[in-house]
Amino acid sequence: MALLEIENLCVDFETRSGGLFRAVDGVSLTVEPREIVSIVGESGSGKSVAMLAVMGLLPKTARVSADRLAFEGANLMGISPAARRRVVGKDIAMIFQEPMSSLNPCFTVGFQIGEALSTHLGLGRAARRARAIELLDLVGIPSPESRLAAFPHQLSGGMSQRVMIAMAIACSPKLLIADEPTTALDVTIQAQILELLVRLRDEKDMALVLITHDMGVVAETAERVVVQYAGRQVEEADTAALFRDPHHPYTAALLAALPERATEKHLPAIPGMVPGQWDRLDGCLFAPRCDVATDLCSRVEPTRAGADLGRALCHTPLVAGRPTRRADAEGVPA
């Protein structure tokens, strides 16, 4: 059974002008046990919002709807906040981008790790302390006993992120959602943290959803990748396949724009920028920046292609770099 099932998840935000802004538009995702799935996208692609919706951490102005949102077969939509809290933090945990600001500056590390242990597992004081030491040791913090009494300001960025991970895995979750866990860290520390996350997956049988904008991190860590653009899921594929033969023009352009893939001094940049709240179009949202867009793309919203084409949301998905008319294309004039 799939661990997490999301079908057609949409998140709308009420805006100050009274309208609705769709931040996440029809995202579907299943995560199997022990799997590492990565969600990539630029800012505004809705990658974090989609996962915050799963966690139930969105503000009141957000309206979440989904055909199905289930964890281990149990529905997460429309359950009471108390019922959700029994799952969130225990079986699903999340870590965030800014470790420094995600920890409460007023409490010691030991207390903050202990909170989840007493809430979800009802552990007593001595058991909490023993477990906290064990966790800090597991995430690679030297002399964990003495670190229990440390306050967050006494820790470096890498240490704070390790503490965050220790808190998240305190109740041995089945799914860990990591939202840009290494973006604020230096590369040598980033390598340590990614290594730690993969090791925890191996040892603790934990699935990992890794939200990132860094294609390098994706290539080295993930098994499967979901690419998001402007709230929509544009492609989904196995990591190796995605890097070998990207099917959506956005994925292809994103990979080509990476400096490490460049062959010339001039990078093949994607012109323009991500559409904002007011410039949503009828057709494909990527059409204005796409170099293979046709008239059809700006008028008609594309449907999803088959799994062999990376479920690309495109009228003419790329095959070996060439736009190809889909076999399942309906009678729409090209």
Query: Cα–Cα distance between 288 and 10 in angstroms, integer?
Result: 23
Query: How many residues lie near another protein (CB under 8 A)?
Result: 46
Query: Which is closer to another protein, CB of 78 or CB of 271?
Result: 271
Query: Cα–Cα distance between 137 and 142 in angstroms, integer?
Result: 7
- Told to check if 195 binds another protein by CB under 8 A, we report yes
Structure tokens at 92: 């699903």
- Considering only 186, 279, 291, 295, the residue that binds another protein (CB under 8 A) is 186
- Told to check if 271 binds another protein by CB under 8 A, we report yes
Query: Which is closer to another protein, CB of 10 or CB of 159?
Result: 159
Query: Cα–Cα distance between 333 and 296 in angstroms, integer?
Result: 8
**Shortest spacing between CB 264 and another protein, in angstroms:** 10
Query: Which is closer to another protein, CB of 205 or CB of 238?
Result: 238
**Residue type for position 303:** T
Per the document, the length of the chain is 334
Stretch that binds another protein, among 78-86, 124-132, 151-159, 316-324 (CB under 8 A): 151-159
- Told to check if 165 binds another protein by CB under 8 A, we report no
- Considering only 66, 159, 209, 285, the residue that binds another protein (CB under 8 A) is 159
**120: helix, strand or coil:** helix
- Told to check if 94 binds another protein by CB under 8 A, we report no
Query: Which is closer to another protein, CB of 169 or CB of 194?
Result: 194
Stretch that binds another protein, among 87-95, 119-127, 184-192, 307-315 (CB under 8 A): 184-192
**Shortest spacing between CB 26 and another protein, in angstroms:** 22
- Told to check if 188 binds another protein by CB under 8 A, we report yes
Using CA atoms of 39, 305, 309, 43 in order, give the dihedral in degrees to the nearest 10: -30
How many Cβ atoms from other residues are within 10 Å of residue 139's Cβ?
22
- Considering only 149, 269, 319, 332, the residue that binds another protein (CB under 8 A) is 269
Q: List alpha helices for 56-142, DSSP H.
A: 81-87, 99-102, 109-116, 125-138
Under DSSP, the state recorded for 303 is P
Q: Report how many helices (DSSP H) and strands (DSSP E) the chain contains, helices first.
A: 12, 13
**12 touches 23 (CB < 8 A):** yes
Distance (Å) of CA 27 to CA 23, 24, 114, 178, 283: 11, 7, 35, 18, 17
**Shortest spacing between CB 305 and another protein, in angstroms:** 22
Structure tokens at 41: 């996208």
**Shortest spacing between CB 153 and another protein, in angstroms:** 14
Structure tokens at 101: 């600001």
**Shortest spacing between CB 120 and another protein, in angstroms:** 31
- Told to check if 215 binds another protein by CB under 8 A, we report yes
Residues engaged in binding another protein (CB under 8 A) = 42-43, 156-159, 186-192, 194-195, 213-221, 239-240, 243, 253-255, 257-262, 265-271, 273-274, 289
